[in-house]
Amino acid sequence: MQISFTLNGRPTTVDVEPATLVAELLREQLNLTGTHIGCDTSQCGACVVHLDGLPVKSCTLLAPALDGATLLTIEGLQGAPGSNQMHPMQEAFREHHGLQCGFCTPGMLMTAIALAAEKPDLTESDVRHGLEGNICRCTGYQNIVVSVMAGAAAMNAAKGE
């Protein structure tokens, strides 16, 4: 079947088998390999993308659900529009060493950005609960939480400008 959607700001039309997962479509058909498949059972969160602004697990989403929707993947993140800057949340992860091997990072970033956008005054407890569906096997989460707090503050500051 043919589906049309907005992918990272660009209109996109693809032919897919209905039994295609969005994570597969992105990685194998559209060559966007930044979205990672960790567990393939909707537990680990490495595959989180934004569907119409909401965080979803792309390994548990059928491609037909994209038709008419807006999809944002890790590749679509940017700082100031048109610039070559990283997104403030990405900057915060770099600054605060919020990753070690980096496998979970795309999903962490997408979840963190949605969390910060939903709730401007994030507490540490909000962050820890909000990352419930994202598993990291390296960091012990401490620096991820620090990064998300800093990234959320930077997103708020950028919004205020």
Partner 1 sequence: MKPFAYHQPDQIPDAAKLLTSIEDSKLVAGGMTLIPTLKQRLANPPALVDLSRLGNLKGITDDGATITIGAMTPHAVVAASKLVQAKIPGLAALASMIGDPAVRSRGTIGGSVANNDPAADYPAGVLGLGAAIVTSTREIAADKFFLGLFETALETGEIITAIRFPVPLRAGYTKFKAPASRYALVGVFVAKFADGVRVAVTGAGPGVFRVPPMEAALSENFDPSAIAAIKIDNDGLTSDIHAEADYRAHLVTVMAKRAVDAALS
The site for partner 1 (CB under 8 A) is made up of: 1, 17-19, 21, 40-43, 45, 48, 51, 54-57, 60-62, 64-65, 67, 111, 114-115, 130, 132-134
The single-letter DSSP state of residue 87 is: P
Q: Alpha-carbon distance 6 to 70, whole Å?
A: 5
Q: Alpha-carbon distance 66 to 53, whole Å?
A: 13
Which distant-in-sequence residues (6+ apart) come within 8 Å of 144 by Cβ?
93, 98, 99, 108, 131, 136
- Which residue's CB is nearer to partner 1, number 37 or number 79? 37
Minimum CB separation from partner 1 for residue 63, in Å? 9
- Which residue's CB is nearer to partner 1, number 62 or number 86? 62
Minimum CB separation from partner 1 for residue 58, in Å? 9
- Which residue's CB is nearer to partner 1, number 51 or number 109? 51
Decide if 61 contacts 25 (C-beta within 8 A).
no
- Which residue's CB is nearer to partner 1, number 70 or number 79? 70
Strands (E), the chain: 2-7, 10-15, 48-51, 54-57, 70-72
Minimum CB separation from partner 1 for residue 158, in Å? 22
Decide if 138 contacts 100 (C-beta within 8 A).
yes
Minimum CB separation from partner 1 for residue 81, in Å? 25
Minimum CB separation from partner 1 for residue 126, in Å? 11
